[in-house]
Structure 1
Amino acid sequence: MLTNGKETERALARLLLERLKPLATRLETFDPSHGMRMRGRQLFGYCCVRRERLARISAEKPLIGIVLSGEKEFWLGDTGQSFGAGDVFILPAATELDVVNLPSDANGLYESLLVEIEQVPAALRSVAATSRSARGLDLRVTLTPELVDALSHAAILLSDTENATALSEHRLAEVLLLLARQPAAAGLFSRSLPERISWLVVADPSRRWTATTLGQELGMAGSTLRRKLEDHGTSMRETLSAARMQVAHALLSTGDATITDAVAAAGYASRSHFARRFQAIYGLPPAEVRPAQSTRG
């Protein structure tokens, strides 16, 4: 049984799909040789008619995505997140993820719209800088009536290639303003060094990460990395500990891992120490973590 919050999310997802119907592809007109196609200024569409898994996909610029049909999964290492029709997701720039696209049983088509963010207005950067970033892999945007209205209008205006100018830019800026406080949308604006380290660790948690190995991935010396972390008010040890705790939370959220697995993933020798630290971060003990439920059911 759906809670009122989930009923609201589902209703907003249906409203968004209804608003974007003019941009949806009909299966009979779909050319499978052109999965990705430009739909307008900063607006792209992607379709497929068979299940596909795409490895290590990354975008040059950050994207706002809307699933129009079927389902989409993102995977960062062993951590995954799925999206159904009407869901909105954020794809940060220069972040490698595995992607699975699943066509709908109803129409045999997977389709999404992708809005490319070329630049963030200067007035919004300071607003976004105060937002809390998502923990681990969390690309899901929480819909609101205002966001549905702004996002649908922006997409329709961007699809009008002849007139997609000042008005579409205004609508897109409105979308960014509404997203600025959402943790998942932090990747649209910028990611701090600790956040970039967190993504690397979550993607490959079994690797023995050190300042040297992380520096190699990030294009800087280990000593420079440590110094930059100090500038962010943290340390190498604190950053790695926080990232590994994200891995532990993700494991427990799947419902397939034990607390012992989570303790090992977080790098703790003591189960009690792990439990205290876990509750301090997430507000509940490890034993009370439950698998994430879809808002579609």
Structure 2
Amino acid sequence: MTSLIEIPGQTHAQRLLHLLKPLAMASRNARGPGLHSHASQLFSYCCVERERLASVVSETSRIGIVLSGEKEFWLGDAGQRFVAGDVFVLPKGQAFDAVNIPSEANGLYESLLVDVTEVPRWVMEMRGARAPSGFDLRVPLGGELVDALGHAAISLSASDHADALAGHRLAEVLMLLRKVPAAACLFEQSLAERAAWLVAAAPSKRWTAAGIGRELGLGASTLRRKLGEEGTSLRQVLAAARMRLAHDILVRGEGNISDAAGIAGYASRSHFARRFASVYGTTPAAVRLGQRA
């Protein structure tokens, strides 16, 4: 079994790659390019040439780890790039464009994929992190998560079914990810949250009920009805998602108040400021000033 002893000077990403090296080597020695199953919930993917994949849809929620090369995900105009040692999450049913880029060192793009088919009730009942305000699939690594991922992958690969130990190890990973905003998509999400995620990925797009419904596999009237059953409306979802983006822009110091107002859909700075204060209890100027202090 791979040792989980930490080597001095290793980054979390390097340590994770070290732990998963036996799985990567087994895949390279026994299999060619493509998607390959190691166990019921553990897969690897490999390619030897740069490839672009349009509208890739995961049938289950997944945790992915880049083992070699680089990977890009795109949702509209928003994109993220991942390199070896990075961890990402994929929500069930959401279409992305993907680019796989083999490493110059070994000529391979490789990733390890863990299917999340069931989340234990006790994990679901934990307080979760707020979903990210923009397009974000990246999971930040810490020592505990590296250990948990290493244990889970090793346990899953040791059997062709998710036995009790493997299930326990994966539950440990999910417990840690419950606190990570980018991993919110692994857990149950309301229709309003899914719609807000789409809006956040392309805030400048003129979203309509038909457009959002098409992305989520629903008709416009069905979308409106289901949002109503959740106690909200499309208008409220759009306004809340854009206001949250405006707040985050100011918090990160990435734009001025006019930029934030535009993202939120307000032509008037004064109207934006009043609405912002009613939501966050402070003014846009105070938030931006706090980042410049």
Alignment TM-score, normalising by the size of structure 2: 0.78
Partner of 1:133: 131
| Contact 2:72/2:82, CA 8 A, preserved across alignment | yes
| Contact 1:35/1:48, CA 8 A, preserved across alignment | yes
| CA offset digits 1:142-168 (Å, max 9, x no partner) | 212111111111111211235751111
| Contact 1:79/1:251, CA 8 A, preserved across alignment | no
Rate the CA distance shift 1:147–1:268 in 2: closer, same or farther, 3 A: same
| CA offset digits 1:72-92 (Å, max 9, x no partner) | 111110011111111111101
Partner of 1:42: 41
The AA in structure 2 aligned to 1:134 is P
Q: Which runs of 5+ in 2 are unaligned?
A: 1-7
Q: Which runs of 5+ in 1 are unaligned?
A: 1-7, 290-297
How far apart are the structure 2 equivalents of 1:79 and 1:104?
23
| CA offset digits 1:1-31 (Å, max 9, x no partner) | xxxxxxx997111110000010114897475
The AA in structure 2 aligned to 1:44 is F
1:15 and 2:48 aligned: no
1:85 and 2:91 aligned: no
| Contact 1:157/1:163, CA 8 A, preserved across alignment | no
Rate the CA distance shift 1:247–1:55 in 2: closer, same or farther, 3 A: farther
Rate the CA distance shift 1:207–1:132 in 2: closer, same or farther, 3 A: closer
How far apart are the structure 2 equivalents of 1:200 and 1:171?
31
Match of 1:267 among 250, 265, 268: 265
How far apart are the structure 1 equivalents of 2:104 and 2:240?
40
Matches within 5 A, 1:94-105: 94-105=93-104
Partner of 1:161: 159
Partner of 2:185: 187
The aligned length equals 280
Alignment TM-score, normalising by the size of structure 1: 0.77
- What is the DSSP-based 3-state SS (H/G/I as helix, E as strand, rest coil) of the residue aligned with 1:80? strand
Matches within 5 A, 1:55-70: 55-70=54-69
| Contact 1:9/1:143, CA 8 A, preserved across alignment | no
| CA offset digits 1:193-249 (Å, max 9, x no partner) | 222112333455555333455446546665664565456554433321233457779
How far apart are the structure 2 equivalents of 1:26 and 1:87?
20
Rate the CA distance shift 1:222–1:82 in 2: closer, same or farther, 3 A: same
How far apart are the structure 1 equivalents of 2:110 and 2:204?
34
Rate the CA distance shift 1:61–1:163 in 2: closer, same or farther, 3 A: closer
Rate the CA distance shift 1:75–1:274 in 2: closer, same or farther, 3 A: farther
Rate the CA distance shift 1:41–1:262 in 2: closer, same or farther, 3 A: same
| CA offset digits 1:85-125 (Å, max 9, x no partner) | 11111101001111111111111111100000111111211
**Identity value in percent:** 55
Partner of 1:147: 145
How far apart are the structure 1 equivalents of 2:237 and 2:177?
26
Rate the CA distance shift 1:216–1:164 in 2: closer, same or farther, 3 A: closer
The AA in structure 1 aligned to 2:21 is K
| Contact 1:157/1:168, CA 8 A, preserved across alignment | yes
- What is the DSSP-based 3-state SS (H/G/I as helix, E as strand, rest coil) of the residue aligned with 1:127? coil
| Contact 1:63/1:117, CA 8 A, preserved across alignment | yes
